[in-house]
Structure 1
Amino acid sequence: MNKTNILLATAAAIALGATIAAAQEYTAGEVTKIDAAQKKLTIKHGELANLDMPAMTMVFVVAEDSMIEEVKVGQKIEFTADRVNGRITVTDIK
Structure 2
Amino acid sequence: MKKTFVSVALGVALATSGAAFAAGEMGNMDMSSGAKQGNAANSSMSHGEVKKVDTASGKLTIKHGPLENLGMEGMTMAFKVQDPTMLSQVKVGDKIDFVAEEVDGALTVTKLQKQ
TM-score (norm 2): 0.66
Counterpart in the other structure of 1:76: 95
Counterpart in the other structure of 1:34: 53
Deviation at 1:16, TM superposition (A): 6.2
Judge conservation of contact 2:41–2:68 (CA < 8 Å) in 1: no
Counterpart in the other structure of 1:3: none
Deviation at 1:29, TM superposition (A): 0.1
Moved over 3 A (4+): 14-20
Counterpart in the other structure of 2:22: none
Counterpart in the other structure of 1:50: 69
Q: Which has the larger radius of gyration?
A: 2
SS in 2 for 1:22: helix
SS in 1 for 2:49: strand
* 1:61 to 2:80 alignment: yes
SS in 1 for 2:93: coil
Which has the bigger relative contact order, CA under 8 A and spacing at least 6?
Answer: 1
What is the count of residue pairs matched by the alignment? Answer: 83
Deviation at 1:82, TM superposition (A): 0.5
Quickly say closer, same or farther: Cα 1:47–1:15, change in 2 above 3 A.
closer
Identity of aligned residues (%): 46
Q: Cα deviations across residues 45-69 of structure 1 (Å, max 9, x unaligned)?
A: 0000111110000000001111101
SS in 1 for 2:108: strand
**Residue type matched to 1:38 in 2?**
S
Counterpart in the other structure of 2:16: none
* 1:87 to 2:106 alignment: yes
Tell me, in whole angstroms, the C-alpha distance in 2 between the residues paired with 1:16 and 1:68. Answer: 32
Judge conservation of contact 2:82–2:110 (CA < 8 Å) in 1: yes
Counterpart in the other structure of 1:4: none
* Alpha-carbon RMSD: 1.6
